[in-house]
Amino acid sequence: MKQKNKGFTLVELIIAIAITGIITVTIFQIFGGVVLNWKKAEDRMSQNYKINNLYILLSKKLDELYQYKAVKDPEKYFDGQEDSILFISFYSVKVPYFPVTTKIYLDNEKNLIMEETPFFFDRPDAVIPEPVKMTLWKDVDDFKIFYLTNDRTKRKGSVWENRYEKSLNRAKVLIAVRMDIVLKSGQEITVFSYLKGGKDSKGVSGGLL
């Protein structure tokens, strides 16, 4: 006698569905983990790329810092504070091949801001256009600037200070500038630059002593 072909029992069908479900969930979890790790790696690469661009920009700005010899109102051409700096630079983002008065500071919303205004050496009192304002980085945790100075009248050697204003002490020579930036992600950026052969308001050459 021929035996009848029996189909799957209900229990067997339930077990098969359960096994298939477990395998499917496992595959999706593995795939999801791979996609998530890929996205994290991509975000890190993008973040590092932006950080590198910020570092290059600030380095170029400071490397081209020029200590303009101003007899009148020197604070208009250089003003170094703990959380902001104003200076003349021969490197410009918005005005190529033209010296600009540059201001870098942290605004009230903790954004790192840079302003550029064209500067005319032969006409320092001329009416100039409004500054070009750009956001270098949003939501910065901390931003500090330090100034390596040498006061030749006191002969104490070079010291780091958290401010440098020509109008307050014309005897001090600015040697270097350092910016310390801490991002919300916890990443830290340090930009350091010795000044080139510019001169301070008394005509004393800057640079490494």
Domain for residue 160, yes or no? yes
- Cβ–Cβ < 8 Å for 104, 80: no
Q: Is the pLDDT of residue 110 over 90?
A: yes
The sign of the dihedral angle between the CA atoms of 30, 36, 42, 44 is negative
What are residue 105's phi and psi, to 5 degrees? -160, 170
Q: Is the pLDDT of residue 144 over 70?
A: yes
- Cβ–Cβ < 8 Å for 64, 73: no
pLDDT of residue 5: 57
Q: How many CB atoms lie within 10 A of CB 116?
A: 23
Q: Which helix (DSSP H) or strand (DSSP E) does residue 191 occupy?
A: strand 188-194
Buried b / exposed e along 195-208 (16+ C-beta atoms within 10 A): beebbbbeebebee
Domain for residue 41, yes or no? no
Structure tokens at 149: 């100075």
Domain for residue 33, yes or no? no
Tens-digit pLDDT profile for residues 111-125: 999 999 888 766 656
Domain for residue 42, yes or no? no
Domain for residue 120, yes or no? yes
∠ CA 57-60-62, rounded to 5°: 110
CA–CA distances in Å: residue 8 to residues 17, 22, 166, 174: 12, 20, 92, 88
Looking at per-residue confidence, does 151 or 174 come out higher? 174
Domain for residue 19, yes or no? no
Query: What is the mean predicted confidence (pLDDT) over 141-163?
Result: 78
Question: Measured in Å, how far apart are the chain's first and last C-alpha atoms?
Answer: 109
Contacts of 51 (CB under 8 A, 6+ apart): 183, 187, 189
Domain for residue 31, yes or no? no
For residues 66 and 143, give the distance between their C-alpha atoms in angstroms, rounded to a whole number: 22
Query: Domain residues for 73?
Result: 53-194
Name the one residue in this structure whose structure tokens are 């395998």. 23
What type of residue is 127?
V
Of 15-29, 159-173, 178-192, highest mean pLDDT: 178-192
The tally of domains found in the chain comes to 1
Domain for residue 12, yes or no? no
